[in-house]
A and B are shown apart, each in its own frame.
Chain A
């Protein structure tokens, strides 16, 4: 461990870890409400459907630039939300099946587009889409901890960091502002609507927020981590508390913990075990969050409701 927190830490590990933590939190926050609404797969769906959007944005602009990719992914997410509603209503099938149909089709379309187009010159391929490139988000301009106070070094931060920080802050703010109606409508939609709460609008807002989180996280960390972070930290927190505010707070802790532990384990775990190469950080972060959920399942204090 000593070499991990050595002088290279700020340059090599600090920014990827922060990006991982912020991406995890941005996904976990809306994930709590999606989970309680039994719509956790919406996050899954969104993280899949952004792929064709990103590829189309690349084909149109010819460059891997963040803004067009974000816009393309956001557009794809919106198309998917509309398609899911359309399939649900026109096909008269339940939401889960509609999502299944739409997200696998769009992800497949994205993979096909990716294979058919010449993206070999840039860092955009199927593997990148799944795993992201967390390890490469290095802060080259940094020397050590003092760089945190150096304006020149700060200006050269990987652009992914401020972007995901803004998104995470925005999602945290939205969660706080709309906490009451969101909790109310999530618990009892009929009662909320009878009170005049615009529950349809809230539902669309929640889905859109999840889409923004997925898109922002996708670029840096790939879709595997996005899927895991929508579900695992909230589900782990759900098993460890019986209050909504505590659940959301713990989900943030578990998300951050998964990201930090996952990043360290990916970088050093194989070396500790005698291996020569690090493994994918995004994959390890997702795996750690899954292990945490499994542990919570084993040790959950929740007992069946007593009668009386």
Chain B
């Protein structure tokens, strides 16, 4: 190393704190995102940045635009304005790093297919149009089913599954994508307790692997147990930040428009601001 480069490397005047580091870019960031649902603004000018390597929740009352925000970020619905970045890259080039778990009710579970075939759909990017399905692909799909505790159901017709089992199959399909960012839309809605435990265990293991998780969530009672970071919205953003800082009674009342009873809020094991 020449003295010149040494000098550059140890330039103490340079502000290391603000230097752009791709590894530190948010897992998902949206800027002034506005999207409509049935011609009504569902999400209005929302800015949010979900940190990488964390489990984040999007919470808010029914019709607050939680799912719309996720779909708009993924480009599934038309947005009126807004920028979206995944690990600092535009969504268009970063799709490979994103796995999406839609709401269970968004598909027809009577579709003629087996559990293992649904999980294999997560491998579509690897397989392409006509790529040959190798044993390694089948093994990968089975390993994903194993991880959500559904290995015994691989050959089942998907219509024979319970709601919780369907949700786990959807999670297994997302796991098969091998993504860095997992976006889940209401994964705990209408599932049994065993499934909820299985799903949260998988999500926490993803976090331990350094993956990022963003969940549209409706159960306020589990927010502090499950998540590190939260975005509260009611069409507009109310607040976002680490759970320990922003999951407060004031912010919840602002988000839910005073619809939460005081007694209910007390039960949520709130962190005081």
Contact = CB atoms under 8 A, between A and B. Distances in A.
A191 B100 contact: yes
Contacts of B183: 194
A171 B259 CA distance: 57
Interface string A163-190: 0000000000000011011011011101
Interface stretch (A238-246, A253-261, A278-286): A238-246
B102 A191 contact: yes
A138 interface: no
Interface in A202-258: 238, 241-244, 246-247
Contacts of A178: 129
A190 B75 CA distance: 10
A36 interface: yes
Contacts of A244: 111-113, 117
A187 B112 CA distance: 9
B78 interface: no
B157 interface: yes
Interface stretch (B1-9, B118-126, B202-210, B216-224): B118-126
Contacts of B113: 183, 187, 242-244
Contacts of B128: 180
Contact of B76 (A194, A238, A242, A243): A194
B106 to A, nearest CB: 6
A180 B127 contact: yes
Contacts of B121: 183-184, 187-188, 191
Interface residues of A, number: 28
Interface in B70-93: 71, 74-76
Nearest to A32: B112
Interface size class of B (residues with CB under 8 A): 20 to 34
Contacts of B161: 305
A186 B117 CA distance: 14
Given A187-B121, A190-B100, A190-B106, A242 B112 contact: yes
Contacts of A193: 74-76
Contacts of B76: 190, 193-194
A234 B114 CA distance: 19
Contacts of A247: 112
Q: Residue among A195, A197, A241, A306 with the most chain B CB within 10 A?
A: A195
B24 interface: no
Contact of A305 (B102, B109, B177): B109
B253 interface: no
B231 interface: no
A195 B124 contact: yes
A183 B162 CA distance: 22
Q: Residue among B112, B159, B177 with the most chain A CB within 10 A?
A: B112
A140 to B, nearest CB: 42
B131 to A, nearest CB: 9
Contact of A188 (B74, B75, B107, B162): B107
A180 B127 CA distance: 9
B100 A194 contact: yes
A151 interface: no
B162 A190 contact: no
A57 to B, nearest CB: 35
A188 B157 contact: no
A178 B107 CA distance: 20
A187 B95 contact: no
B66 to A, nearest CB: 15
A307 interface: yes
A177 B130 contact: yes
Contacts of B95: 194-196
Contacts of A305: 109-110, 159-161
Contacts of B111: 36, 186-187, 244
Contacts of A241: 112
B163 to A, nearest CB: 9
B114 A187 contact: no
A246 B157 CA distance: 13
Interface string A31-48: 000001000000000000
9 contacts: A186-B111, A187-B108, A187-B121, A188-B121, A190-B71, A197-B124, A241-B112, A247-B112, A305-B109
**3 tightest A-B contacts by CB?**
A194-B100, A242-B157, A305-B159
Given A190-B100, A243-B117, 4 more contacts: A180-B128, A194-B98, A242-B114, A244-B113
